[in-house]
Structure 1
């Protein structure tokens, strides 16, 4: 589920197929609804989520599919589509992964209007572009999952070279640097699928500044977790904000992993 920058889609599907050869992978195509004015695309996320839930319910009924085995992966606006699908499906999905969920018109809204921990048994989120421009950020800043991972603080991604963010709200005119930051969430997830021997770990911390000072580099009491596909649900009922450093290129495993 996406809506933007589908040139990476075949890489994600191929990586999933290699990792889970017996899995059925379904791509939700809602490009005609996503490639509209941003407010209109936002309004369409609920509709697409409901239609996705209808498909999942049909698969439950006709294919005897177990919801615990369903893993929805959504990028940008698609992350909220996945949230709506989880909210409207008959039962509880096993997992939703949000890849830098869109921020504008979703930041600080009620849980039922965006991706939230209520939408699946396990909701994990990668935040890679939370830098503000004109008071908002392309990727959502607030924690919206059971675990929320902020690579490199969530506002800077090595190798992207972002300097000018003016005009970033006009999704159709995002420059390559902005795209790089936002899309890094997808590539980190793909990296977690294909580079199992170079697994990246994030560490629980109250904020990015404390992590950068090296205060939170402990795995005691489940304070660290693998990122991407390998992430595991914590036994804690509280949301966990987690941080890590990455390299500029795949494999992204950095110094503190």
Structure 2
């Protein structure tokens, strides 16, 4: 009986051990399959459509998963790559500025690959939904750049991302998602006012978002850690606030189409200082070119640069600082002056100067004057005191009556030094009176000042050559 029990126990133990062995063999067979499946990644599915622009309205769709499309579309790995990304879409249609910018880039740069990012399927949603999609589209661009890097050994530093509105944020996200040591070579953007969180890598600094309200318009361009704030001069037509935003695109296009009329912007603390003309200084990288041909400057902190632009292309305006000194002004007065400049190339025409503060004692005023033409070397200045500017109160008028003549003496301004500085050339010209009494100006009187002898162009050039 005891022998039977022992045999049963041995059989049961043997059966269990065989079962455990079989189970272990099945597990060992399944493990290699699992290890083989886990590393396999599904193909990346892009939410955006990328098209290589070839001119006119001709584009060719690129598919990063099908490399032959790059070759068939005419992508040249020897040329730099510019990727244009639009913003939020109201009607689901590609805005006309996209093709205009692509045409300007292709026409003027010639040897360049221009790619347009089409994310209209996501951009044509309610704005908050479109905002949420910006990171997704940024990853699409990153995937395209990384595919070119892996398959074509195309360096990211040859890539220039250009984005408008939400497209600027997308471009920034694309730069931040790029892995490895390679960074996007350049990012140019005019971001929307809606903050989307920390912004992007910019060669390789961060793009920061900042807006400044100038006479009702928010105007800003971000280029390589520099903020360009431009004041719109609206002449002869109505313009909505959108012009202050989309205007940046046309300013960038203008910089490509009008190489001989590049707009210059100047570093300044605020707009009030800028309109006084005290910021037209280009020393130590205090000024820069607006647009494609910007001079790359590495700065530790963000800098704001200001400029004025014209109402239509070409938008360039020439900036001049007018400085005038008044001396021994016994009575306070608030005149309106008109000046006219004559240069070796052009004449300015009449420019009205209005004083924000009254003139009294010894004081110096500066003003910013902008013109749509280059005057050349300044040679002559005509100054006129508008006749409507009289003494502001009866007491001052009484004080000017000559007792024995019974006549009222006209108000008088006594001027000291007068100079004009051209921002674009950085040349300052001093003006001297043509007559001995030329420093005195009466109401409704014209005075002509000429370039001082010690400041003549030939003598100035000699000084520069020493």
Q: TM-score range by the shorter chain?
A: 0.7 to 0.9
1:61-140 equivalent positions in 2, closer than 5 A: 61-90=150-179, 91-99=182-190, 101-106=191-196, 109=197, 111=198, 114=199, 116=200, 118-121=201-204
Shift of the 222–195 alpha-carbon distance from structure 1 to 2, 3 Å rule, reads: same
**Contact 1:103–1:141 at 8 Å: present in 2 too?**
no
Unmatched segments (≥5 aa) in structure 2: 1-84, 320-423, 425-466
Find the partner of 2:228 among 117, 124, 149. Answer: 149
**Contact 2:255–2:262 at 8 Å: present in 1 too?**
yes
Q: Give the equivalent residue in structure 2 for 1:2.
A: 86
Q: Which secondary structure does the structure 2 equivalent of 1:229 belong to?
A: coil
Name whichever of 58-67 and 71-80 sits farther off: 58-67
Please list every run of at least 4 consecutive aligned residues from structure 1 whose deviation after the TM superposition is greater than 4 angstroms. Answer: 122-133, 139-145
Do structure 1's residue 161 and structure 2's residue 252 form an aligned pair? no
- For residues 103-161 of structure 1, what are the alpha-carbon distances to aligned partners after superposition, in whole Å with 9 as ceiling and x for unaligned? 1244xx4x2xx3x4x3434778998995799xxx9x68797951111111xxx453563
Q: Give the equivalent residue in structure 1 for 2:286.
A: 223
Count residues in correspondence. Answer: 228
**Contact 1:143–1:239 at 8 Å: present in 2 too?**
no
Q: Which secondary structure does the structure 2 equivalent of 1:237 belong to?
A: coil
Shift of the 143–246 alpha-carbon distance from structure 1 to 2, 3 Å rule, reads: closer
Q: Compare relative contact order (CA 8 Å, sep 6+) and give the higher one, 1 or 2.
A: 1
TM-score by length of 1: 0.79
Find the partner of 2:119 among 30, 36, 43. Answer: 30
1:137-216 equivalent positions in 2, closer than 5 A: 146-152=225-231, 156=232, 158-159=234-235, 161-162=238-239, 177-216=240-279
Find the partner of 1:253 among 297, 306, 316. Answer: 316
Shift of the 105–237 alpha-carbon distance from structure 1 to 2, 3 Å rule, reads: closer
**Contact 1:49–1:83 at 8 Å: present in 2 too?**
yes
**Contact 2:221–2:229 at 8 Å: present in 1 too?**
no
Higher helix share: 1
Shift of the 246–127 alpha-carbon distance from structure 1 to 2, 3 Å rule, reads: farther
Higher strand share: 2
Q: Which secondary structure does the structure 1 equivalent of 2:186 belong to?
A: strand
Cα distance between partner residues in 2 of 1:20 and 1:125: 28
Cα distance between partner residues in 1 of 2:230 and 2:158: 27
Residue 229 (structure 1) shift: 0.4
Larger Rg belongs to:
2
Cα distance between partner residues in 2 of 1:201 and 1:125: 21
TM-score by length of 2: 0.45
Name whichever of 64-73 and 242-251 sits farther off: 64-73
Shift of the 147–231 alpha-carbon distance from structure 1 to 2, 3 Å rule, reads: same
Shift of the 157–26 alpha-carbon distance from structure 1 to 2, 3 Å rule, reads: farther
